[in-house]
Structure 1
Amino acid sequence: MQPNRTEKTKKMTALTSRPAILPQLDALRVLKLSGALWFVIAVIGQAAFAAYILGFYGVSTAQGDFERMDGRVFHGFIDGDLLGNSLFLSHVLLAFIITFGAPFQLVPQIRNNFRTFHRWNGRLFLLVAVVMSVGALVLVYHRGVVGGAFVATGNTINAICILVFSAMTLRFALKRRFADHYRWAMRLFIAASGVWFFRLGFGFWAGITGGTMPGSAMDLTGPFDRFLGIGHAVIPLLVLELYLLVRDRGSAPARYAMAGGMVAVSAATALGIFMAAQIFWLPALH
């Protein structure tokens, strides 16, 4: 009779412990799905941004119509500023490589099944990210930026983050610590999308205010402009860090709550993409 009792005890233990395990697994899966939802929306938005870069800046450069760019950006081409003009042009054209190529690095199926592509695309991405960041810092302090100290500070934070994250991503890849490598690659992806987030911020603000955009001025010195000037470089990274923390260490309720937050972030991102396309990207292509 003793073996029967032992067997019953094991069955009861398994039954009572199962409900405690399943919610944890379900919560983790829901959280990862919410992260995947945001990523899919972001990839669509970045593809639209890449199409804008190629269709406007690429075509304008091929046609030698540099004056056309001045109608879309502040401090575009300035007569006599060879350094600034060269940095500006290289910055906007290299942005296409960053925007188009970065998402491929984070797709597990591509990373696992096309390893040669993953390695070479990653090397190109790191090189371009570093070149663009250094160029952006030179532009900020060589020409100054519209929006003043707040936008300059945000751009500086963004560029420094890209340089640090690039170094850490490469470091852990060389050490073959791929879990750490992937975490730093996610941080780099977010930081390298700073210009994209900046435009999405204005698109989102236009969407929820019905196009009135209170607190925003043409010279980017309004209260909202100042908030976004730094926020575009900081807020997305904070969201990512919170997501990673909850994913790796959070309880089931915390994971469910974070998943709900990611759905809200996904909706905000989709709105920002839609409005940014209407305000910034599509008009430039007509």
Structure 2
Amino acid sequence: MLSAYYLYRAVDYRFLHADRLGPSLFNKQLWYFSHALLALPVVFGAPLQFLPKLRQSAPRVHRWIGRTYVIGASGAATLAIYLGATTEYEGSRLSIVLTGMLWLFFTLAAWKAAVARNFVAHRAFMIRSYTLALVLVWLRVMYDFQDQLFFYVQDEELRDATREWASWVVPLLVVEFWISWLPQVKSNKSFKSKPLRGST
């Protein structure tokens, strides 16, 4: 429900205001529409992939949803790179391009891990990929609470750029802490090193 609400907000912002869509069909308009259409099955189909019962009872459905996700996310990420590089907001260009590049890499890495039947790596990369797929949600949430989150940034353009960066860096850091850093810390605690030879 939250994703649907913020997707509506994103559509309202970009597509229901003519001045934000681009000057012509082949100058941004087509690419914005294509990006949105490719992202739709990604945002709403991916949650099904994390249901253990679906993977166990209907593995073929799981695989087809996964293929749809890879195609949609790869296309949407590629278009995000282009749209980010050509956006009129200079402070957002690098952030959007990096988001698209990482999203594309995580998606393809998840697909490659699944083909190799390395399902531990597949799950980790899928979580990372879907985290970046939800950037539109994180961005709108941070916008709604920007006075509380970014009260220390008074300049409006600088606040927009800060929010753009935080919308993917913060969620990705949280995910990395959960799936990578925390397990390593726990494993280090349980590891007892042997004393060096000759030490007392």
TM-score, length-scaled by structure 1: 0.57
Gaps of 5+ in 1: 1-43, 58-66, 255-286
User: Counterpart of 1:145?
Assistant: 88
Is this contact kept in 2: 1:94–1:132, CA < 8 A?
A: yes
- 1:248 CA displacement: 2.1
Is this contact kept in 1: 2:84–2:94, CA < 8 A?
A: no
Q: Distance in 1 between matches of 2:166 and 2:43?
A: 20
- 1:181 CA displacement: 0.6
1:69-107 deviation digits (Å, cap 9, x = unpaired): 116xx63142x3524211011122333222111211122
- 1:128 CA displacement: 0.7
- 1:171 CA displacement: 0.8
Q: Distance in 2 between matches of 1:90 and 1:165?
A: 21
User: Counterpart of 1:215?
Assistant: 154
User: Counterpart of 1:115?
Assistant: 59
More helix by share: 1
User: Counterpart of 2:44?
Assistant: 100
* Aligned residue identity for 1:70: H
Q: Distance in 2 between matches of 1:106 and 1:228?
A: 28
Q: Distance in 2 between matches of 1:167 and 1:250?
A: 28
1:230-253 deviation digits (Å, cap 9, x = unpaired): 12121111111111235523449x
**Aligned-partner SS, 2:16:** helix
* Aligned residue identity for 2:78: V
Tell me which of the two structures has the higher relative contact order, counting C-alpha pairs closer than 8 angstroms and 6 or more residues apart: 1
1:135 aligned residue (41, 56, 79): 79
User: Counterpart of 1:268?
Assistant: none
User: Counterpart of 1:178?
Assistant: 119
User: Counterpart of 1:168?
Assistant: 109
Is this contact kept in 2: 1:126–1:166, CA < 8 A?
A: yes
Q: Distance in 1 between matches of 2:77 and 2:183?
A: 30
Is this contact kept in 2: 1:157–1:233, CA < 8 A?
A: no
Is this contact kept in 1: 2:85–2:97, CA < 8 A?
A: no
1:70 aligned residue (17, 21, 24): 17
Q: Distance in 2 between matches of 1:53 and 1:91?
A: 16
Matched, 1:225 2:172: no
Q: Distance in 1 between matches of 2:52 and 2:71?
A: 22
- 1:182 CA displacement: 0.5
Matches within 5 A, 1:244-263: 244-251=179-186
Is this contact kept in 1: 2:3–2:137, CA < 8 A?
A: yes
Which entry has the higher C-alpha Rg, 1 or 2? 1
Where does structure 1 differ by over 6 angstroms across 4 or more consecutive aligned residues?
A: none
CA pair 47-108 structure 1, distance change in 2 beyond 3 A: farther
CA RMSD between the two structures: 2.8
Is this contact kept in 2: 1:133–1:163, CA < 8 A?
A: yes
**Aligned-partner SS, 2:94:** helix
TM-score, length-scaled by structure 2: 0.80
Gaps of 5+ in 2: 190-200
